Amino acid sequence: MSSEHTMLLLPVAVSMALLLVGAVAATKTTTHLKFYMHDIVTAVPSSPATAVRVARAATPLPLEPAVRFGDVFVIDDALTEGPNATSPAVGTAQGYYMYASRTDAALMLSVNMVFTAGPHNGSTIAVLGRDAILDPVRELPVVGGTGVFRGATGYGLLRTYLINGTTFNAVLQVDMYVHARV
């Protein structure tokens, strides 16, 4: 091949390489993460409160008079591998939720899942959505992420695994289906 041909082919080869890089970069994989979230609204001997009410509103919910439309809680809930609080730590759920319905026990939940152990240590997943806490399964949108989850999309399924009727402390099962270039 003459050097002129090489010169002509070079830009073609470069653009094809760029296309390939683009295609590889656009490939996202789906990761299923399963863990448990400990929402401690009442301090117990084994844990301080990790959900703190910072705003108290005026109108009790019709079916849940203990809480009021407009109540806001800031959370830093432990995330663990298994449902038991003593099971290995995965990270924390940091953010807030507010009672955002005048009629139903429905939260607006805005939380960063901050991973502090395992393969995703140092990465986060941002979740923002409606959490109708009495529903058996709630779907929450993933709106982004950092680290290995940069640019993440996807969703999470939230289930109440346990709730204590006296303290209202809850253990939630979290299944996240995260699309990212992990």
Ligand X SMILES: *[C@@H]1O[C@H](CO)[C@@H](O)[C@H](O)[C@H]1NC(C)=O
Task: Tell me the C-alpha distance between 181 and 154, whole Å.
Answer: 12
Least distance from C-beta 167 to ligand X, angstroms?
Answer: 5
Choose among 73, 107, 75, 71: nearest CA to 93.
Answer: 75
**Count of residues touching ligand X (by CB under 6 A):** 10
Least distance from C-beta 44 to ligand X, angstroms?
Answer: 4
Least distance from C-beta 20 to ligand X, angstroms?
Answer: 33
Site string for ligand X, 115-154 (x = CB under 6 A): -xx---xx--------------------------------
Choose among 71, 86, 72, 76: nearest CA to 50.
Answer: 76
The one segment of 5-13, 69-77, 114-122, 128-136 that binds ligand X by CB under 6 A: 114-122
Task: Tell me the C-alpha distance between 174 and 34, whole Å.
Answer: 6
Q: Cβ distance 99 to 107 under 8 Å?
A: yes
**Binding residues vs ligand X (CB under 6 A):** 44, 84, 86, 116-117, 121-122, 164, 166-167
